[in-house]
Amino acid sequence: MANFNISELNRAKFVSMVAKRLRVIGKSSDAPVKALASYHANELADALHPHVQFLTVKEIIEHSPDLKSFLLAPDASRGTKSLAWFSAGQYLSIALEVDGQTLCRPYSIASSPRDALQGVYRITVKRVGGGLASGFMLDNWTVGTKVIASAPLGEFTYEPLRDAKTVVGIAGGSGITPFRAFAKAITEGDEDFRLILLYGSRTMADAVFSDEIAEMAEHCDKIQIVNVLSEGKKVKGAESGFITAKLIQKYAPQDEDYSIFLCGPQAMYDFADKEIATLGIRGKFVRHELFGEYFHPEKNADYTGDKDAVYNITVRMAGEETVISCKGDTTLLRAMEAAGIPAPSDCRSGRCGWCHSQLLSGDVYVPESVDGRRMADKMYGYIHPCCSFPLSDIVIDVPPMPGM
C-alpha cells in the first residue's frame, strides 16, 4: 500500500489552483476599476455604528413627575434616517447643553432592538437629587425636542459563549431599564436565555415596568420576575427585604451554572457584591452594568487627598489652554463641564475610554473599582477624567468632543 502524504496532496491541489487562477486573470479586463460613490461595507458600518444620531422626542410617558420615559425617533431633517440596531442591555450617551455646560449622560435603552427597527428608542429618566441632566430633561423636554445621542454603547449584553443559559438579573430602582429590553428581546426571539429577574424597589408603587414584565412572563416561560420590596407591608407574591445570597439561591437553578447580571445604584452593588461573593460563582458569570458616576472619594481608605481643597486645572484642548478650578471631591470631567469645556465622555465610570486624556503634570486619585486603565495607560500617564480626582494642581491634555 502506497504511503499517504497529506502535504504532497495539498501541494498538488495548490499548484493546479494557481494555474487556473492565472488563466482567469489572463482573460480579465485591465481597465481601471470604477470608483463607487460608496461601498456597501462602509454603509453597513455607518448604519450600525453611526458617529452620532440626531433624534427627536416623539412621545413622553409620565410614570410620575420624577420619572418619565422618552420615546426617541430619528430626525431625518438633520440626517438621521433610521436608528442603529443594538444589543439589549446597551445604552445611549445623550448630549445636553445645560446652563452653558456641555454634558453627556448615559441612559440604558429600555426598548428592544426590534423597536429600533420600527424607529423608536425608549429611555427612562429618573430625577436624581442634585442631578443637572435628569432635572433638565424631566422639566424641559417636550414632544419635538431635538436630541443628540451616540450610537448604542456598552457591554452589558448577553453573550452565549461566555454567559450561562440562565441569567439571574438583579435590578435596583431605574436599573430595571436594560432588563425590560432583555425581556422584550427574549419574547421577540432576538435573545435566547432564561431570565430570572429579582427586582428591588422600596414599594410596588416604585416598581416601574414590573407589571409589564410580569405580563411578558405570563406568555413566555423563559422570563420570571420577583419583586423584592424593602419597605411597607408584605405583598402577596413579592419578597420582603433585600436581595441577599439566600434569596438568589432560592430562585436560581439548583443544578446548573447561572450568570448574574446587576444593574442599579452604587449602594446596591456594594451590598449585592458582598452577598454574591459568598456564592462561589465564577467571575465571568457576574456582570455589572456601569457603576455610574463616582462620588465621595474621601470615603475610601486609600484616599490621601483633601476633599475640600481647590486646585488649578490647566486644560489643553485643540491648541487652546484654559485654567479652571476643581475641588478635591469633584472629578476632572465634572469640573471641565461646569466650566463649559466640551470634554468627551460616554460611560462616566471609567469603562469606555472615551474621555482618555493625558496627565502632563500633577497627581490624581482614581478609585480602584472604576479604574479601567490599562497598564500602558498608567505607564504613559493617561487618565480617565470621569473618575479622576485631583490631588494637586494639574495640567491635562484632553481631546475635544467629536462632532459636538
Residues that bind ligand FES (CB under 6 A): 345-348, 350-355, 384, 386
Region at 188 (left for phi over 0; alpha for psi -120 to 50; beta for the rest): alpha
Tell me whether residue 53 or residue 345 sits nearer to ligand FES (CB atom).
Answer: 345
Tell me whether residue 126 or residue 348 sits nearer to ligand FES (CB atom).
Answer: 348
Please report how close the Cβ of residue 60 comes to ligand FES at its closest, in angstroms.
Answer: 27
Query: From CA 84, how far away is CA 168, in angstroms rounded?
Result: 28
DSSP-assigned letter for residue 283: G
Tell me whether residue 200 or residue 297 sits nearer to ligand FES (CB atom).
Answer: 297
Please report how close the Cβ of residue 318 comes to ligand FES at its closest, in angstroms.
Answer: 18
Query: From CA 157, how far away is CA 87, in angstroms rounded?
Result: 6
Cell of 313: 486645572
Please report how close the Cβ of residue 123 comes to ligand FES at its closest, in angstroms.
Answer: 18
Please report how close the Cβ of residue 238 comes to ligand FES at its closest, in angstroms.
Answer: 36
Tell me whether residue 149 or residue 355 sits nearer to ligand FES (CB atom).
Answer: 355
Contact 207, 104 (CB under 8 A): no
What DSSP string runs through 196-254? EEEEEESSGGG-TTHHHHHHHHHH-TTEEEEEEESSSS--TT-EES---HHHHHHHS-S
Quickly tell me which residue has 433585600 as its cell: 242
Please report how close the Cβ of residue 398 comes to ligand FES at its closest, in angstroms.
Answer: 11
What one-letter code names the amino acid at 190? Answer: D
What one-letter code names the amino acid at 117? Answer: L
Please report how close the Cβ of residue 337 comes to ligand FES at its closest, in angstroms.
Answer: 11
Tell me whether residue 184 or residue 384 sits nearer to ligand FES (CB atom).
Answer: 384
Tell me whether residue 122 or residue 351 sits nearer to ligand FES (CB atom).
Answer: 351
Tell me whether residue 287 or residue 384 sits nearer to ligand FES (CB atom).
Answer: 384
Contact 91, 153 (CB under 8 A): yes
Query: From CA 290, how far away is CA 272, in angstroms rounded?
Result: 15
Q: Rounded to 10 degrees, what is the CA torsion of 237, 240, 245, 246?
A: -70
Please report how close the Cβ of residue 374 comes to ligand FES at its closest, in angstroms.
Answer: 12
Tell me whether residue 247 or residue 355 sits nearer to ligand FES (CB atom).
Answer: 355
- Please count the residues of the chain: 404
Tell me whether residue 185 or residue 370 sits nearer to ligand FES (CB atom).
Answer: 370
Please report how close the Cβ of residue 345 comes to ligand FES at its closest, in angstroms.
Answer: 4
User: H-helix or E-strand containing 327?
Assistant: strand 320-327
Please report how close the Cβ of residue 348 comes to ligand FES at its closest, in angstroms.
Answer: 5
Q: How far is CA 140 from CA 57, 144, 146, 147, 208, in A?
A: 11, 11, 11, 12, 22
